[in-house]
Amino acid sequence: MVAFVIVALVLNAQFTWWVVYSLRDNRERLDLERSLVESQMRLAATRLELQLLEAERSISTVPSGVIPLAVPPFVEVRVVDVMEPAHAGAPPAAAGRWVQRNGRLVLDLPLGRGRSALAFLDPQAPYRWLAATDPDLQIVERGTVQEGRPSVHLAAPLDGFSVTPEYRHWKELLRRYRQRVVGVLLEGAAFLAAIVTAVGLLWRVMRREGAYERQHQNFISAVTHELKTPIAGIRLALETVLSGRVDDDGRKRFLGNALADSERLADLVEKVLEVTRYAGGAHRLRMSLGDLSQLVEEEVVAAERRAAARGVTVEADVVPGVQATFDPEAIAIVISNLIENALKYADSGEPRVGIRLAVEGGEAVLEVRDNGVGIAAYELESIFKAFYRAGDEVTRRTPGTGIGLFVAREIVEGHGGKLTASSPGPGRGATLRLALPGAEVLPEDEESEYSGGNETR
């Protein structure tokens, strides 16, 4: 876990460096593209100024009184009458001046005799890059994302104009820049989410493995204790008998205790073997149509002997003739484990265990309830986990290994059924409910024939 966290931190540092570097690289790329655009604009401005200067010189050198021809970037020359006194006394060869006519920049050349030649600039061509007023031309501090278009101011006579990049071209540059920034941030967010998810999953697995390991250790401790107790009892009984200090009645009593402890030991070994046989669906169930009522009654009779030794009252309500498809050996283990669990946790004052078998909605429902310590709501699912034992001290002092209900649920799920637990609350008992699908109740006459046929076989 520590090694993984270190690797995750190193990767996160590398990732952070990559994000910062990528953002900085995108910013530098935009600055380079802006510088290139500005260089192109300065070149265009210089060419335009030279072209205007050359065209103005060409027009201005026309002899006095001669109407000049339009020279690019001038597209039209008009002769108009001049009423201003300033023109009246001007020599014919006087240089022209730049004026505004109807919003257009015009070179005014005096022709003499009250007339002037107006040379109009081409409103297209290079002027598509000129703008006197443009909301995108405001000067914005460089280094920010929302920059206005760069501009280059022209010299007189076009000092009221500026050369700017074509609007769509500049917007495309900014769009590509933002697209690259968003791409870097999205990749970074995805990578960060992957790291966080991996760390979260690993932490969850580690916690689950830790809990499983603790349960496994509890199981080992419980099994060790459960094995040592009957072994110690058997050894004590045999040593007492072999010592010759007891009479015949005493020998019978001690040998009976040894036999009971051996049965307890055999039962514990059998439960451990059940885990290896049925856990994870490794065991192939031998399904057949059978009488579930008869199987439950047999297990109740077997449990009554254990219940009598513990002073527990068993109340059974078994509907006869319940037929279902199941593995008799496996379901017998389930029923035995459910009843044994109820016997262990029944109330120490007036312990009672109730067993009910019925058919509900096409399912065979077996309920085993006790009036013992109950089960906390947060542990209703945990009790079916392997090696799990409830945290209550009363439960911990009760003998057990934490595998009986685990094996029971594995078997039931292998039958396509459900095994659940419910409890009104601590100190109010608990109910374990087994539901097997595809069940029905045979009428009494058919039940007799079915039983007779089984006896014949």
Q: What is the DSSP string of 25-84?
A: HHHHHHHHHHHHHHHHHHHHHHHHHHHHHHHHHHHHTSPTTPPPPP-TTEEEEEEEE---
All CATH 3.30.565.10 domain ranges of the chain, comma separated, are 284-456
Instruction: Please give the Cα distance from 265 to 140 (Å, whole number).
Output: 88
pLDDT of residue 88: 41
Q: For 246, how many CA atoms within 13 A lie in the half-sphere containing its CB? A: 16
pLDDT band at 280 (very low <50, low <70, confident <90, very high): low
State whether residue 93 is helix, strand or coil: coil
Element (H, E) at 434: strand 430-437
Q: Which one has a higher pLDDT value, 145 or 73?
A: 73
- All residues at 6 or more sequence positions from 377 whose CB lies less than 8 Å from its CB, including other chains: 423
Q: Are strands 130-131 and 152-153 parallel, antiparallel or unpaired?
A: unpaired
CA dist., res. 73 & res. 430, Å (int): 100
Residues paired with 418 in a beta bridge: 435
Confidence grade of residue 171 (pLDDT, cut at 50, 70, 90): confident
The mean pLDDT value for 109-117 works out to: 82
75-89: pLDDT as tens digits: 888 888 875 544 444
Using only C-alpha atoms, the chain has a radius of gyration, in whole angstroms, of 50
Mean pLDDT in residue range 383-393: 66
How many angstroms separate the CA atoms of 81 and 63, rounded? 18
Alpha-carbon gap, residue 291 to 76, rounded angstroms: 113
Count of residues making up the chain? 457
Q: How confident is the model at residue 417 (pLDDT cuts 50, 70, 90)?
A: very high
Spatial distance between the Cα atoms of 201 and 207, rounded to a whole number of angstroms: 10
Given a cut of 70, whether residue 344 has pLDDT beyond it is yes
Nearest Cα to Cα of residue 323 among 457, 454, 414: 454
Q: Are strands 363-370 and 352-360 parallel, antiparallel or unpaired?
A: antiparallel
Query: Stretch 411-424: mean pLDDT, rounded?
Result: 89
Distance CA 155, CA 157 (A): 6
pLDDT confidence band for 292 (50 / 70 / 90): very high
Span(s) in the chain for CATH 1.10.287.130? 186-276
Give pLDDT, residue 165.
73
Is there a contact between 365 and 335 (Cβ–Cβ < 8 Å)? no
pLDDT band at residue 357 using 50, 70 and 90 as cut-offs? very high
State residue 139's pLDDT score. Answer: 38
Phi-psi region of 384 (alpha: psi -120 to 50; beta: other; left: phi over 0): alpha
What is the mean predicted confidence (pLDDT) over 1-23? Answer: 76
Identify the DSSP state of 90: -
Q: What is the pLDDT of residue 365?
A: 93
User: Phi and psi for 325 in degrees, rounded to 5?
Assistant: -100, 120
Pick the CATH number of 284-456 from 3.50.50.60, 3.30.565.10, 3.30.450.20, 1.10.10.1200: 3.30.565.10
- Provide mean pLDDT across the span 174-193: 85
Question: What pLDDT is recorded for position 137?
Answer: 40
| Residues 175-184, mean pLDDT to the nearest whole number | 86
DSSP state of 346: S
Q: Give me the mean pLDDT over the 29-36 stretch.
A: 84
Beta strand 162-163 with 115-121: parallel, antiparallel or unpaired? unpaired
pLDDT tens digits for range 184-225? 888 888 888 887 888 788 888 888 887 777 766 766 766 676
Q: In sequence order, what DSSP letters do the residues of 253-306 get, joined into one string?
A: HHHHHHHHHHHHHHHHHHHHHHHHHHGGG-SPP--EEEEHHHHHHHHHHHHHHH
Q: Which CATH class is domain 186-276?
A: mainly alpha
159: DSSP letter: T
- Which of residues 276 and 371 earns the better pLDDT score? 371
Q: Compute, in degrees rounded to 10, the torsion defined by CA atoms 108, 111, 115, 116.
A: -10
Are the C-beta atoms of residues 265 and 233 closer than 8 Å to each other?
no
Among 441, 131, 420, which Cα is nearest to 292's? Answer: 441
Identify the pLDDT of residue 452.
Answer: 46
Chain-centroid distance of CA 237 in Å reads 60
pTM: 0.48
Beta bridge partners of 357: 318, 366
Q: Which two tokens stand for residue 440?
A: 């029905």
pLDDT at site 279: 62
In sequence order, what are the beta bridge partners of 288? 326
Does residue 280 or residue 418 have the better pLDDT? 418
Q: What's the mean pLDDT in 331-337?
A: 88
CB atoms within 10 A of CB 177: 18
Q: Are 237 and 256 in contact (CB under 8 A)?
A: no
Residue 444 has pLDDT above 70, yes or no: no
